[in-house]
A = this chain, B = another copy of it.
Amino acid sequence: MKNFTLSLPTEIFFGKSQIDVLGDQIKKHHGSKVLICYGSRRIKENGLFDTITNILSEYEMSFFELSNILPNPRITSVRDGVALCKKERIDFILAVGGGSVVDCAKAVAAGACYSGDPWDFFTGGTKVKKALPVATVLTLAATGSEMNGNAVISNLEVIDKRAVMTPLLKPKFSICDPQYTFSVPAYQTAAGTVDIMSHVFEQYFHSAEDIFLQSRLCEAILQTAMHCGPRAIQEPIDYEARADLLFASTLALNDLLGFGYDGDWSVHAIEHAVSAVSDLTHGAGLAIITPAWMRYVIDETNTGKFYSLAINVFGVKKGKNRMEAAQQGIDALADFFAALGMPRKLEEVGIKKDQLEVIARKAAPSDPVGSLKELHYDDVLKILQAAF
Contact = CB atoms under 8 A, between A and B. Distances in A.
Interface of A: 1-9, 11-18, 210, 212-213, 216-217, 219-221, 223-224, 227-228, 239-240, 243-244, 247-248, 251, 256, 259-260
A216 to B, nearest CB: 4
B18 A12 contact: no
Given A3-B16, A3-B18, A14-B3, A210 B8 contact: no
Contacts of A247: 213, 259-260
Given A3-B15, A5-B12, A227 B244 contact: no
Contacts of A217: 217, 220, 251
Contacts of A9: 9
This chain's copy number in the assembly: 2
Contacts of A13: 3, 5
Given A1-B15, A212-B227, A217-B251, 18 more contacts: A1-B243, A1-B244, A2-B15, A3-B13, A3-B14, A3-B18, A4-B15, A5-B12, A5-B13, A5-B14, A212-B223, A212-B224, A213-B220, A213-B224, A213-B244, A213-B251, A216-B221, A217-B217
A337 B259 CA distance: 29
B259 A213 contact: no
A240 to B, nearest CB: 5
Contacts of A18: 3
A328 to B, nearest CB: 20
A259 B247 CA distance: 10
A6 B14 contact: yes
Nearest to A16: B3
Contacts of A256: 256
A292 to B, nearest CB: 28
Contacts of A12: 5-7
A11 B16 contact: no
A373 to B, nearest CB: 22
A216 B222 CA distance: 10
Contacts of A6: 11-12, 14
Contacts of A212: 223-224, 227-228, 240, 244
Nearest to A227: B212
Contacts of A7: 11-12
19 contacts: A1-B244, A2-B15, A3-B17, A3-B18, A5-B12, A6-B11, A6-B14, A7-B12, A9-B9, A212-B227, A213-B224, A213-B247, A213-B251, A216-B224, A217-B220, A220-B220, A243-B260, A247-B260, A256-B256
User: Which of A11, A16, A17, A216 lies at the interface centre, i.e. has the most chain B CB atoms within 10 A of its CB?
Assistant: A216
A132 B228 CA distance: 43
A118 to B, nearest CB: 29
Contact of A248 (B2, B16, B213): B213
A216 B210 contact: no
A240 B2 CA distance: 10
Contacts of A213: 220-221, 224, 228, 244, 247-248, 251
Which are the 4 A-B pairs with shortest beta-carbon distances?
A3-B15, A216-B220, A6-B12, A8-B8
